[in-house]
Structure 1
């Protein structure tokens, strides 16, 4: 009996043509991908415009439940990323659909979060109530920058009284210009810990949001673009869709190296402009993994990986499809080498430099000794 074909190690294949030419729809996360806080990630609006000009269609899939699709589309358009409300799918919409399916139209629901939560509930035919004393059948909790003790207390009382606790997402943090800040998952944890009741999570990585975006756009070969391993990348894997991880949000090289299998992306870029360029493959050259001018091999003693700046000078592995360097070749090689050693689990990587260039790169990533 023949063995089933093994999935290639994530990041090893690269992409010989720019993803904007290889896929028909990009399903873009927003926080940490298109913008951070109120401002666009530098260069991303122009990159998305170029991708659109080349025929790539865009959909926006966000776990941030604070705003309505109309507000999100208005913000994107102001950032020179034109969008319609129909292009946006929020986790509030996903939660409202789930609650309506579980409890039926007209069910009484207490919203906790920004205005996007209550708006999505009303649009789904649910009755929005203001307090636990109104006898809600469910509490739907999503992110909102004004959420405080009073709203959390109402949610706790309602859940204790028998309301179903539904969370739009469990993201522990959100990116900001000041670094990661508490996300909805941190607030959901307060209600969960006080009530002892585990919430139903409806946003990413549940594949329903990506599936809805695929349905709306008619995508035949979509790619998910995100900055979070546990929502965007896992959500893409669960939806059977390729993924592009960008480092403009919350994920850094150390987190990526330690990723469990379901959190490992197919492609990697500094930001969403990575849609416009080919991505190099990672080749096995003897015992090493080579990408561009960087090579990774097992260090003497076998416990660590050794990173070396190894210019090809005609003797190494050329980048796939003539892809030029983007500064992430070393990280690709490290990931493929480390994940090849740990195909079924996620563990931190121990990396040592073979030269000064490697030492400087690892120090910049917080991976130096």
Structure 2
């Protein structure tokens, strides 16, 4: 790539199912990120995972051998918090990353349905029926309904696990209310990540057609689908919108991309 102009000014990369699964880096993903940067292409990460803060996500990536700063990572928790007003009393059904984003926004954490302005959902590994009851009653009392993301599932270390969207849908079903979704495929995450990249042509790389690919395509970006996460080869062939690129993994996609513009 020495002396050649990159095809893209920047690339936005998903994390779960693209860079790692569970606590293990996907083979070749670290070298792929390094290769993009060495080619003069800006790199940002955008994840619907709201369980961690950007700092925690950067720490995890560092543990896996990636060189990534917190400012290189946009999460759906941060995007969701941006939809709140400072001072809102927010009932969070989620984990530390979501609660931290809410308090960083200047909002108050709430438990009482009668004293709640917003119900905010994310993935909650400690979900209880009582949390669903309190969320339902707060929404029926008129609280706003915001979801960090609507992902039905996500790729975990040992298989596919239920995602934050399962909790969102439970409350939608109980109340007849529709959540305002902050994460992919909605534009907030993409646009915020893009604001931290050089001006020019952008590429989104992800593992899920209905979020990564559909959301980026709606903004006019090129898209790359890798088959190490949620979407399989059969689904990729039938995808609408069709990804610009499909590859077995991030390493293969980046290698083909850079080779084609060498």
Let me know the Cα RMSD of the aligned residues. 2.0
Question: Would the aligned equivalents of 1:65 and 1:144 in 2 still touch at CA under 8 Å?
Answer: no
Q: 2:18 aligns with which of 5, 15, 33?
A: 33
Deviations 1:104-159 (Å, cap 9, x if unpaired)?
A: x21111111111111111112222223324x1111010113222323222211211
Max Rg structure = 1
Q: 2:72 aligns with which of 81, 87, 93?
A: 87
1:217 Cα deviation after fit: 2.2
- Partner of residue 74, structure 1: 59
Give the SS at the match of 1:119.
Answer: helix
1:201 Cα deviation after fit: 1.1
- Asked if 1:266 is matched to 2:247, the reply is no
- Partner of residue 180, structure 1: 160
- Asked if 1:98 is matched to 2:83, the reply is yes
Runs of 4+ in structure 1 displaced over 3 angstroms? 320-323
CA separation in 2, counterparts of 1:163 and 1:140? Answer: 10
TM-score where L is the length of structure 2: 0.92
Change in Cα spacing, 1:321 to 1:74, as seen in structure 2 (3 Å) is: closer
Higher-RCO chain (CA-CA 8 Å, sequence separation at least 6): 2
Instruction: Spell out the pairing of 1:2-13 with structure 2 (5 A cutoff).
Output: none
Q: 2:122 aligns with which of 124, 142, 157?
A: 142
Unaligned runs of 5+ in 2: none
Give the SS at the match of 2:186.
Answer: coil
1:275 Cα deviation after fit: 4.1
Question: Would the aligned equivalents of 2:23 and 2:157 in 1 still touch at CA under 8 Å?
Answer: no
Deviations 1:247-305 (Å, cap 9, x if unpaired)?
A: 01010122122323x3x2111111111343236xxxxxxxxxxxxxxxxxxxxxxxxxx
Give the SS at the match of 1:166.
Answer: strand
CA separation in 2, counterparts of 1:41 and 1:140? Answer: 31
- Partner of residue 134, structure 2: 154
Question: Would the aligned equivalents of 1:107 and 1:127 in 2 still touch at CA under 8 Å?
Answer: yes
The size of the alignment, in residue pairs, is: 257
CA separation in 2, counterparts of 1:44 and 1:66? Answer: 22
